[in-house]
């Protein structure tokens, strides 16, 4: 197998079709509804046109919720209200249709795919299609040891790329991306702090199930310790992910970059997805043009990462449960933008030819 070269993504990733975006903007000017009246829905329609390379925009017919799952050793320090090694239980709730994301996906008629990279459970307790990409059982405790070996990091990154290829090849036309993890927001905070050059307290939030002040202080200390280990490897993104990311975050980064290669647009969920996207931006600066920020969860690390990538969230929901739930809430907006851009009628030619102040009859 050829060695993984992340620098190749810079050449492989193209921006969405700028000419098609201009055509979409020109068509928007011809619509009967005045420009600006639809707010950000106009911008969304133009983003979709550029991503699809099509005007009018095609409807979003085959979205998929893709969730990367893993346990993080840092959870042993009490940085989360969820139990250490508890991500497998969260995955089972998703698969059984009992989690918030599963309920939303069912109502929105969106298929769900869960990809286990590092759950701390016997793989035989989960379906084979969930566990077939697993790299290891749990990721290392990043305050004192690497999350992954170099070989595991490459395997996880390649797994994410493979999942992206599978989705693109199967006809998925939009990905809703989320995570199912325990300790994942701590690893995400480390990545954001390292890449943005900020202190741990600036990016450390209270997690999916909000923790109390004492647990937050423990989490800040863990982020600060892991950050000291992250800074020396900032020049090598794969090594950075191996040091402080974990298998699920590493796979998610590979997934995001390969989606950009395959011109498959992605809606980002919370702080974990945002942190992986920030790593992806460091690898290939054009990649964020293929990603949409769904919502503002209130996690400071997410806010910092999205600001660095100049991605403005569509919604302010405060949803922190993870699992792509917040991103699913944005999907109807994206679908609505596509429908409006494609189906609203254009003004009659005589009206478009008129000058300001003139009636159509006087032209």
H or E segment at 323? none
d(Cα 303, Cα 75) in Å, to the nearest integer? Answer: 23
Residues 6+ apart with CB under 8 A from 166: none
Is residue 129 annotated as part of the catalytic site, yes or no? no
d(Cα 172, Cα 176) in Å, to the nearest integer? Answer: 10
Q: Choose, from 14, 323, 343, 358, the residue flagged as catalytic.
A: 323
Helix, strand, or coil here: 295?
A: strand
CA distances from 346 to 29, 33, 197, 309, 340 (A): 9, 8, 49, 34, 11
Q: Tell me: cis bond preceding 56? Omega within 30 of 0 counts.
A: yes
Instruction: Report whether 94 contacts 180 (CB < 8 A).
Output: yes
Q: Which tokens go with 154? A: 């490459």
Query: Which residues face 178 on adjacent strands?
Result: 67
The candidate with the shortest Cα–Cα distance to 210, out of 141, 297, 277, is 297
d(Cα 156, Cα 175) in Å, to the nearest integer? Answer: 19
* Contacts by 24-28, CB closer than 8 A, 24 or more apart: 24/49, 24/50, 24/55, 24/57, 24/341, 27/55, 27/56, 27/341, 27/346, 28/341
Instruction: Report whether 156 contacts 106 (CB < 8 A).
Output: no
Instruction: Report whether 284 contacts 254 (CB < 8 A).
Output: no
Beta strands in 213-361 (DSSP E): 266-268, 291-293, 295-296, 315-316
Helix, strand, or coil here: 13?
A: coil
Cβ-count burial of 332 within 10 angstroms (0-12 exposed, 13-18 middle, 19+ buried)?
Answer: exposed
Active centre residues (catalytic): 323
């Amino acid at each position: 197998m050829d060695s993984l070269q992340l620098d190749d993504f810079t050449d492989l990733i193209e921006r969405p079709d700028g000419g098609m975006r201009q055509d979409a903007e020109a068509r928007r000017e011809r619509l009967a509804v005045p420009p600006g009246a639809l707010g950000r829905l106009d911008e969304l329609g133009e983003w979709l046109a550029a991503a699809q390379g099509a005007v009018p925009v095609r409807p979003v017919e085959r979205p998929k919720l893709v969730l990367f799952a893993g346990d993080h050793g840092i959870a042993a320090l009490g940085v989360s209200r969820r139990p250490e090694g508890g991500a497998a239980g969260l995955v089972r709730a998703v698969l059984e249709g009992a989690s918030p994301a599963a309920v939303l996906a069912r109502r929105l008629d969106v298929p769900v795919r869960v990809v286990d990279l590092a759950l701390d459970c016997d793989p035989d307790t989960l379906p084979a299609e969930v566990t077939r990409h697993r790299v290891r059982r749990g990721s290392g405790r990043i305050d004192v040891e690497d999350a992954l070996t170099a070989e595991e990091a490459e395997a996880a990154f390649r797994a994410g790329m493979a999942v992206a290829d599978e989705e693109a090849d199967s006809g998925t036309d939009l990905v809703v991306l989320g995570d199912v993890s325990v300790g994942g927001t701590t690893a995400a905070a480390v990545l954001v702090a390292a890449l943005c050059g900020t202190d741990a307290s600036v990016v450390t939030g209270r997690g999916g199930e909000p923790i109390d002040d004492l647990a937050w202080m423990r989490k800040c200390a863990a982020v600060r310790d892991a950050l000291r280990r992250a800074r020396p490897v900032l020049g090598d993104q794969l090594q950075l992910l191996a040091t402080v990311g974990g298998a699920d975050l590493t796979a998610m980064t590979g997934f995001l970059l390969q989606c950009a290669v395959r011109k498959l647009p992605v809606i980002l969920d919370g702080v974990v997805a945002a942190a992986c996207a920030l790593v992806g931006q460091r690898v290939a600066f054009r990649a964020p043009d293929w990603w949409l920020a769904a919502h503002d969860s209130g996690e400071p690390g997410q806010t910092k990462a999205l600001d660095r990538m100049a991605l403005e969230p569509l919604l302010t929901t405060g949803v922190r449960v993870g699992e792509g739930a917040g991103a699913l809430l944005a999907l109807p907006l994206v679908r609505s933008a596509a429908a409006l851009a494609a189906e609203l009628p254009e003004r009659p030619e005589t009206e478009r030819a008129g000058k300001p102040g003139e009636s159509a009859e006087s032209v």
